[in-house]
Chains A and B, each alone.
Chain A
């Protein structure tokens, strides 16, 4: 069974979505249980690959390869390394938690779970694809469910109705939509997100097609391409930039980030969790998988671009978070600020910093999805995300308040959570190369501390508005379980990071060696895999 684990992880949510088609829509509990079972299977199998990954062997493991089209040189080629494996695990955790977080969705439950399962399966697919075609295939596939999840089950941002008159609403469906920047409707957020990500995706696609054609190998196979593909300097630089900015738009790096907080704010809780938790990591992951693996020389030469831009991400995102009043905006901008750390870790290209970046992807997925889940809970109870109008909720929801504090601590990077280890590794690993950025990153942590405390105080302490007197705590196990799952994962790995670190190190070391020309790629790991 072991070697088929990846197929199980990937197809359990897909088959869950297909099974949901045949479940009658009146049976809401059956719908939820079907989704939960599909996600549960995926979670167990991904936990297995996370534990069973052989850290002494490294390289791609649990490999599955089926020829898909001989004519086009495409194979359905799956496998995880020390970077993909933990991210697959994170996606499965978030999907499972997300299903329980959205347990109370009443409107078109069946469709909601179908789209959520497809979204999660597509992200999982990206993390395990060893074929460029399928990497893009799953990448693009993950964008579309977002549109519907945001548009149908999302919520308008505060002030939307005040600034919209009926005439304008009509205009939005037409060309006027594009120029209607002021709007904060969920439709606007959903469309903006989809178009931004599609635009990024086609830029990356151009890069992928160029790799396919100019390598002359007639294959999309990443394992073959990284060993045999050679490009002239200018071409390699061009492709590198297409790949980098194409995928960085989902990450999102600073000038391309504007879709992301709007999208977070409009999305329902479970979608925000998956979006901030794993969807944004598709960008970093794809850059590592495509640019780092196939174009190591250009990566060494140009990765400073990321180091420059990440400064803006960290500071800008942090400042906006500090001044934002909408809980989801705060968390959304904090996510895009924290993505800057990952870029810093990637840009420094040392063992420790890159390992730190990978661990941070995982850690941030857990921390930020906790916060989104609880912001969603508060919104469901009070129908408000406006921090100044909330307050004193700790009396009404002590469990949520407690969990929220843990989430904030994790987000800040308190020792004991996995985030701490990741942040330390990024900061220590990048110091040699980018001291200025490290100082900025540390300032960013202080800023995180400030806005997280501000939000916490605004939501849970102070005077309770009598309007929110009916707000209830999460009492049922269904509501508590997802939060506890995330907290337990974050703290367990924070205290026992040994295996996790080994998993990441086994892949990062040869990769960094190759990029820095210390040693050629260790081929013994992959020799058996070449077709």
Chain B
């Protein structure tokens, strides 16, 4: 296999968002070093401006229908990649708004924080476009690298260091699994590009290889049984980083999962459907049940995140185009609700100096705005109409129903009721319990921006989802003829 780079400038246009963001990153870094008088707020707004421009370029691509592949299909820019990149860019911009207050409390390395966040975002944008196993490995490590630093950013906080160490050790272990899996798959198929693997005969090596790759990606999205790092890391990491971890890497890893399973493993569909059904059932049930016992709001959202990933895997288990549409729509709803909830957490914990659920006692009296916002976000996560999360869940259920995955559906529906309980416990604290200290809690301007964006998205996607559903549907058109069970063959020889 020889690599020939026959590139021209027009091809590089496809990389324009990434190239622009890279240059902007360099600019940010050098500004931070050279201009001593520049405050970290200015740097944050500059980063947001860069992300905004990137987002506009991506939207322009989406409108113009720019698509293509580069580097021997290692990098593809299709509408699905654009969709996921927009989610990542949007999430990063919201995270930066939420971070501005938080970074104020850092004693040093304020500027680098923003650079690190944007760098991780860049890595994840590449992830959304990667179309072969090699670029999966490189981009995944690239994006995770920034997170290793970010999670342990609070140097004086023992929990943060602990979180960083746990995340690092398990992350490196997952990287090892990924590399091993890739080598096995390469050994069996002789290629690394997803689209060229279709039609390879099944073998044990291939099966083990893919299971290892799934384990590594399952680590990224926090699916049971690869979830062990999530609660401690979420709790210990700086809250904006937790918020970032809770959405962006999951989106990027899901893009890879969809590409890998829908394209390269299309012919083995019955096998991996079973895999996802099992993973989904365990993630939903485990996440929701353990969340009930949590006392810390970040841990609660960590477990709720595990459960939400279980919901998302319902779409993967469906294994149809509608399944991937539903995943993409659900991610949009999850983006707004989850980031909004974390924004409220940041606002509250700046006053309370801790993240216990007890701190939310009487929040409705202390800040009606934050309490109402949190109510909306939690109910959206619980899947209550007319909020976005409800449409997202129904969409996933419809996709599973079309494939007649009845067990999965029943478990999913029961889990809605279980999850309702612990979200309502937080609602109860905010609205029913009386505050111990009734001084008002005020949210700063940047936090309010993040909360307002969250509310707008949560309500809009709930009452008027049509255009967004259509967007998700048109973004994954290339999956419209993926193999159904009829043409499926066994992944194992002779099976």
Least distance between B444 CB and chain A CB atoms (Å): 21
Query: Closest chain B residue to A196 by CB distance?
Result: B417
Q: Is B397 an interface residue (CB 8 A)?
A: yes
Asked if B465 contacts A206 (CB within 8 A), the reply is: no
Asked if B428 contacts A151 (CB within 8 A), the reply is: yes
Asked if B364 contacts A108 (CB within 8 A), the reply is: yes
Q: Is A138 an interface residue (CB 8 A)?
A: yes
Bound together, the chains give a CA A174 to CA B466 distance in angstroms of 39
Bound together, the chains give a CA A186 to CA B325 distance in angstroms of 42
Bound together, the chains give a CA A195 to CA B413 distance in angstroms of 13
Bound together, the chains give a CA A425 to CA B416 distance in angstroms of 41
Bound together, the chains give a CA A505 to CA B237 distance in angstroms of 65
Asked if B469 contacts A72 (CB within 8 A), the reply is: yes
Q: A285 — which chain B residues lie within 8 A by C-beta?
A: none
Least distance between B20 CB and chain A CB atoms (Å): 33
Known: A69-B465, A174-B292, A206-B409. A141 touches B402 (CB 8 A): no
Q: A162 — which chain B residues lie within 8 A by C-beta?
A: none
Query: Closest chain B residue to A115 by CB distance?
Result: B431
Asked if A72 contacts B395 (CB within 8 A), the reply is: yes
Q: Among the listed A67, A173, A210, which residue makes an inter-chain contact with B425, where contact means beta carbons less than 8 Å apart?
A: A173
Asked if A140 contacts B390 (CB within 8 A), the reply is: yes
Q: Is A225 an interface residue (CB 8 A)?
A: no
Q: B52 — which chain A residues lie within 8 A by C-beta?
A: none
Least distance between B327 CB and chain A CB atoms (Å): 14
Q: B431 — which chain A residues lie within 8 A by C-beta?
A: 111, 148, 151-152
Asked if B469 contacts A69 (CB within 8 A), the reply is: yes
Bound together, the chains give a CA A68 to CA B462 distance in angstroms of 11
Q: Is A104 an interface residue (CB 8 A)?
A: no
Per the 8 Å Cβ criterion, residues 370-385 of B in contact with A are: 379, 384-385
Asked if B293 contacts A175 (CB within 8 A), the reply is: yes
Least distance between B26 CB and chain A CB atoms (Å): 42
Bound together, the chains give a CA A148 to CA B385 distance in angstroms of 15
Q: Is A258 an interface residue (CB 8 A)?
A: no
Least distance between B430 CB and chain A CB atoms (Å): 10
Q: Among the listed A68, A144, A187, A202, which residue makes an inter-chain contact with B416, where contact means beta carbons less than 8 Å apart?
A: A202
- Residue tally, chain A, CB below 8 Å to B: 40
Query: Closest chain A residue to B432 by CB distance?
Result: A151
Bound together, the chains give a CA A175 to CA B428 distance in angstroms of 15
- Residue tally, chain B, CB below 8 Å to A: 37
Least distance between B451 CB and chain A CB atoms (Å): 14
Quick one: CB contact mask for B340-379 with A, threshold 8 Å, 1 for yes?
Answer: 0000000000000000000000001100100000000001
Give the interface SS of chain B, mostly helix, strand, loop or mixed: helix
Bound together, the chains give a CA A133 to CA B424 distance in angstroms of 24
Per the 8 Å Cβ criterion, residues 385-430 of B in contact with A are: 385-386, 390, 394-395, 397-398, 401-402, 404, 409-410, 413-414, 416-417, 420-421, 424-425, 427-428
Give the interface SS of chain A, mostly helix, strand, loop or mixed: helix
Quick one: CB contact mask for A159-175 with B, threshold 8 Å, 1 for yes?
Answer: 00000000000000111
Query: Closest chain A residue to B465 by CB distance?
Result: A69
Asked if B401 contacts A111 (CB within 8 A), the reply is: no
Q: Is B196 an interface residue (CB 8 A)?
A: no
Least distance between A190 CB and chain B CB atoms (Å): 8
Q: A209 — which chain B residues lie within 8 A by C-beta?
A: 397-398, 401, 409
For B325, B364, B379, B432, the residue with the greatest tally of chain A CB atoms inside 10 Å of its CB is B432
Query: Closest chain B residue to A141 by CB distance?
Result: B385
Quick one: CB contact mask for B453-495 with A, threshold 8 Å, 1 for yes?
Answer: 0000000000001100110010000000000000000000000
Q: Among the listed A70, A187, A198, A210, which residue makes an inter-chain contact with B401, where contact means beta carbons less than 8 Å apart?
A: A210
Bound together, the chains give a CA A484 to CA B386 distance in angstroms of 35
Q: Is A137 an interface residue (CB 8 A)?
A: yes
Q: A127 — which chain B residues lie within 8 A by C-beta?
A: none
Asked if A133 contacts B420 (CB within 8 A), the reply is: no
Asked if B386 contacts A71 (CB within 8 A), the reply is: no
Q: Is A194 an interface residue (CB 8 A)?
A: yes
Q: B394 — which chain A residues lie within 8 A by C-beta?
A: 133
Q: B432 — which chain A residues lie within 8 A by C-beta?
A: 151-152, 186-187, 190
Excluding A190-B428, A212-B398, 8 further A-B contacts by CB distance (< 8 Å) are A70-B470, A71-B325, A72-B395, A148-B431, A152-B431, A174-B293, A195-B420, A195-B421
Q: Which A positions have Cβ atoms within 8 angstroms of B?
A: 25, 67-72, 108, 111, 133, 136-138, 140-141, 143-144, 147-148, 151-152, 173-175, 186-187, 190-191, 194-195, 198-199, 202-203, 205-206, 209-210, 212-213
5 A-B pairs with C-beta separation under 8 A: A71-B473, A108-B365, A141-B384, A202-B413, A206-B413
